[in-house]
Chains A and B, each alone.
Chain A
Amino acid sequence: MDAKGRALSETVWTRLDRKAGAITELTIRQLRHRLSTWVVLAVGALVMILLLAFYIDEIRRESEPVDNDGDSVDWDEDGYPLGQENKYGTSDWDGQEYPGSGYYVMTGEIDWNDDSRFHSGNHTWDGQGYLDAEWVDLDYTGNRWSGIIDWGQANPCPEGDAFDDWWIEWGEACTYDDGSYFVSGKFRASGTVNIPEGYYMQWGHMTLETYVEPEPASMYIDEDSILWDGEDVSEIYVESNCQPGWYYGSVYICNGFEVDDDGDCLVEMYDDNNNGIPCDVIWVLDADRDEIVDIRADYNVNEDIEEGKYQGESSHRTFIIGTGKMAFVLMLGIFIPLFLALGLVRDETENGTLHYLLSKPIHRAEFITYRLLGYLLLAGTYILVLVLLMALVTSLIGPGDSLIRLSDFPVWLGIGMATFLVLAAYGALYNTLGLIAPKYGVYFCIILGIWEFIMGMFTMTMPSASVPMLSISHWALQFIDAIVLIAWPDTLQYSQIASAFGIDSGLPFFWQPPVHTLGTQSPVAAMLVSVTVLLLITFAMMGIGQSSFKNREIM
Chain B
Amino acid sequence: MSDKTPAVLIDQASKWYGEVIGINDVSLAIDGGVTGVLGPNGAGKSTLFKLLMGRLKPNQGSVRLFGVDPWTSTAPYRRVGYVSESERMYDWMTGLDFVATLARLHGMTREEATARAEHVLDFVGLSDVRNKELGKYSKGMRQRVKIAHALVHDPDLIILDEPLHGCDPIARTSIMSVIRELGSQGKTVIISSHILEEIERITEQIVILHNGRLLALGNLHAIRALLDKHPHRILLTCDDPRSLASQFISEDPVYGVRFPEEGQLEIQTNDLSAAHAILPRVIVDSGTDVSAIENPDDNLESLLGYLTGGDS
**Contact surface of A with B, Cβ cutoff 8 Å:** 10, 14-16, 18-19, 21-23, 25-26, 29-30, 33, 351-353, 355-363, 553-555
Which residues of B, 79-117, contact A by the 8 Å Cβ criterion? Answer: 80-82, 84, 86-90, 92-93, 101-102, 104-109
Q: Given A356-B149, A359-B77, A362-B74, are A22 and B88 neighbors across the interface (CB < 8 Å)?
A: no
The count of A-to-B residue pairs whose CB atoms sit within 8 angstroms is: 77
Besides A19-B104, A19-B105, A554-B55, 13 other A-B contacts (C-beta < 8 A): A14-B107, A18-B104, A18-B109, A25-B101, A33-B92, A352-B87, A352-B88, A353-B90, A355-B55, A359-B77, A360-B74, A362-B105, A363-B74
Most chain B CB within a 10 A radius of its CB, from A352, A356, A553: A356
Contact indicator A355/B107 (Cβ below 8 Å) = no
Report 5 cross-chain contacts, Cβ distance below 8 Å, ordered by A residue: A18-B109, A352-B88, A359-B53, A360-B105, A555-B55
Residues of B within 8 A of A18 (CB): 104, 107-109
Q: Given A18-B108, A22-B101, A360-B77, are A353 and B53 neighbors across the interface (CB < 8 Å)?
A: no
Residues of B within 8 A of A358 (CB): 53-55
Contact indicator A15/B107 (Cβ below 8 Å) = yes
Residues of A within 8 A of B88 (CB): 351-353
Judge if B278 is at the interface, Cβ distance under 8 Å. Answer: no
CB distance from B215 to the nearest CB of A (A): 24
Contact indicator A352/B74 (Cβ below 8 Å) = no
Residues of A within 8 A of B92 (CB): 33
Which of B80, B89, B105 sits near A23, CB closer than 8 Å?
Answer: B105
Residues of A within 8 A of B104 (CB): 18-19, 21-22
How many angstroms from the CA of A16 to the CA of B74 in the assembled complex?
13
Q: Which single residue of chain B is at the shortest CB-CB distance from A552?
A: B55
Contact indicator B86/A355 (Cβ below 8 Å) = yes
CB distance from B55 to the nearest CB of A (A): 4
Residues of A within 8 A of B105 (CB): 19, 22-23, 357, 360-362
Residues of A within 8 A of B84 (CB): 352, 355-356, 359
CB distance from A374 to the nearest CB of B (A): 12
Contact indicator B90/A553 (Cβ below 8 Å) = no
Contact indicator A355/B82 (Cβ below 8 Å) = yes
Judge if B150 is at the interface, Cβ distance under 8 Å. Answer: yes
CB distance from A64 to the nearest CB of B (A): 53
Q: Which single residue of chain A is at the shortest CB-CB distance from B47?
A: A555
Judge if B56 is at the interface, Cβ distance under 8 Å. Answer: yes
Contact indicator A360/B55 (Cβ below 8 Å) = no
Which of B86, B89, B106 sits near A361, CB closer than 8 Å?
Answer: B106
Judge if B225 is at the interface, Cβ distance under 8 Å. Answer: no
Judge if B274 is at the interface, Cβ distance under 8 Å. Answer: no
Residues of A within 8 A of B107 (CB): 10, 14-16, 18-19, 361
Judge if B50 is at the interface, Cβ distance under 8 Å. Answer: yes
How many angstroms from the CA of A23 to the CA of B93 in the assembled complex?
14
Residues of B within 8 A of A355 (CB): 53, 55, 82, 84, 86
Most chain B CB within a 10 A radius of its CB, from A25, A30, A360: A360
Q: Which single residue of chain A is at the shortest CB-CB distance from B152?
A: A360
Judge if B57 is at the interface, Cβ distance under 8 Å. Answer: yes
Interface membership of chain B positions 49-89, coded 1 if the CB is closer than 8 angstroms to chain A and 0 otherwise: 01001111100000000000000001101101110101111
CB distance from B83 to the nearest CB of A (A): 9
How many angstroms from the CA of A353 to the CA of B86 in the assembled complex?
8
Residues of B within 8 A of A555 (CB): 50, 55-56
How many angstroms from the CA of A19 to the CA of B86 in the assembled complex?
23
CB distance from B155 to the nearest CB of A (A): 10
Contact indicator B77/A361 (Cβ below 8 Å) = yes
Q: Given A19-B104, A30-B90, are A361 and B75 neighbors across the interface (CB < 8 Å)?
A: yes
How many angstroms from the CA of A21 to the CA of B100 in the assembled complex?
13
CB distance from A67 to the nearest CB of B (A): 61
How many angstroms from the CA of A21 to the CA of B110 in the assembled complex?
10
Residues of A within 8 A of B78 (CB): 361
Residues of B within 8 A of A22 (CB): 101-102, 104-105
Q: Given A21-B104, A359-B77, are A353 and B56 neighbors across the interface (CB < 8 Å)?
A: no
CB distance from A427 to the nearest CB of B (A): 21
Q: Which single residue of chain B is at the shortest CB-CB distance from A21?
A: B104
Contact indicator A356/B102 (Cβ below 8 Å) = yes
CB distance from A552 to the nearest CB of B (A): 9
Residues of B within 8 A of A553 (CB): 55-57
Contact indicator B106/A360 (Cβ below 8 Å) = yes
CB distance from B119 to the nearest CB of A (A): 15
Residues of B within 8 A of A25 (CB): 101
How many angstroms from the CA of A360 to the CA of B56 in the assembled complex?
16
How many angstroms from the CA of A19 to the CA of B101 in the assembled complex?
9
CB distance from A111 to the nearest CB of B (A): 100
